Amino acid sequence: MHFELTEEQLMIRQAARDFAQTELKPGVIERDEHQKFPAEQIKLLGELGFMGMMVSPQYGGSGMDAVSYAIVMEELSKIDASASVVVSVNNSLVCYGLEKYGNESQKQKYLAPLAKGDVIGAFCLSEPEAGSDATALRATAIDMGDYYLLNGTKNWITSGSTASTYIVIAQTDASKKHLGINAFVVDKGTAGFTVGAKENKMGIRGSDTHSLHFNDVKVPKENRIGQEGSGFKFAMSVLEGGRIGIAAQALGIASGAYELALKYAQERKAFGKAIADHQAIQFKLADMATEIEAARLLVYKAAWLKDNGLPFGNASAMAKVFTSETAMRTTTEAVQIHGGYGYVKEYHVERLMRDAKITQIYEGTSEIQRIVISREALK
């Protein structure tokens, strides 16, 4: 068992780290304050090959492994989780789903531009009354012969207004329950498809989160992904990989907060010495470092399993639960170590604390992941 990164992975980490410092950090507070989407930065990430990291070069991707993807997500998330969540959705949910389940025509038409970063993708599963329960979908896609007629509303959609390609999960035959669900590719600008108001969020405020409305939207038959009735399987499969991306995002948020707290503790003086010399602070830093290292190993294990074609659903659920809770604990302690300065925006840690909370909620709440883990244990 090897714990060292390869030379290529180390180079990828350095490239992501440099990008985060030079391109993401300037303006990150302003983007958070004004809910400004990092459009220029996302375009540059596409040019670096980070928007289709695991996609085959045949379809415009970088052909990297899942461990490298987790590394990039961590480095970007240390600085700007709003940018990294766009990278996560595009890679883990949209590109992965199209490459694994799409036909050749769909890959050429949709996957290649997404993998190159020419356009952004969105994954549309959640609804007002169907979040983690994908079998409770109200959105319908009725088979009309040459096309499907799509109606319904989707909530909490990352890149809701900036995406060009939307993967929409809808119910075609409710009597078949989960076997009556399908996944479709819907183009922006299709008649009857409208974007709702932008959500005013507590964290990841730079990412644009919207509700989407579909009113008699005609979806061509060729835009269905996979066989009839395979949409539930499609959604569950891509969400397994999506949990790795979100776990890596939470890991990055925690790592970023820890690095800031460590630096501040070494510079700030109280009672005649740096606060890092006080045992109370040392204990906090030790716990933060230990939990982050444990979280990193869980994330890398899940990614390694995926790279090697081994079952990784349980591992990704464990990684997502542990890293998201580590992110909350670490960012809270980072604010505490900063004292009053931790409560103001210019020191970054209050934003990281706000960003950390969402990692416990999306891609299936921590409670849902615990159900996944316990089911595996009780087999």
pLDDT in the model for residue 352: 98
Using only C-alpha atoms, the chain has a radius of gyration, in whole angstroms, of 21
Q: How far apart are CA 368 and CA 338, in angstroms?
A: 33
pLDDT in the model for residue 131: 66
The one catalytic residue among 240, 363, 367, 376: 363
Q: How far apart are CA 61 and CA 69, in angstroms?
A: 12
pLDDT in the model for residue 2: 82
Burial annotation 312-340 (CB, 10 A radius, 16+ → b, else e): bbbbbbbbbbbbbbbbbbbbbbbbebbee
The per-residue pLDDT for range 133-177, each reduced to its tens digit, is 777 799 999 999 999 999 999 999 999 999 999 999 999 998 999
pLDDT in the model for residue 368: 85
* CA 285 vs CA 253, 255, 351, 357: distances in Å: 15, 11, 19, 20
* DSSP per residue, 96-124: HHHHHH--HHHIIIIIHHHHHTSS-EEEE
**For tokens 């670490």, what's the residue?**
330
Given a cut of 50, the residues of the chain with pLDDT beneath it are none
363 catalytic? Reply is yes
Dig out the tokens for 277 from the structure: 């010399």
pLDDT in the model for residue 335: 98
The per-residue pLDDT for range 98-129, each reduced to its tens digit, is 999 999 999 999 999 999 999 999 999 999 87
The per-residue pLDDT for range 186-199, each reduced to its tens digit, is 999 999 999 999 99
pLDDT in the model for residue 136: 79
pLDDT in the model for residue 132: 63
- Judged on CB neighbours under 10 Å (0-12, 13-18, 19+), 266 is middle
The reply to whether the predicted model has a pTM over 0.85 is: yes
pLDDT in the model for residue 130: 73
pLDDT in the model for residue 79: 98
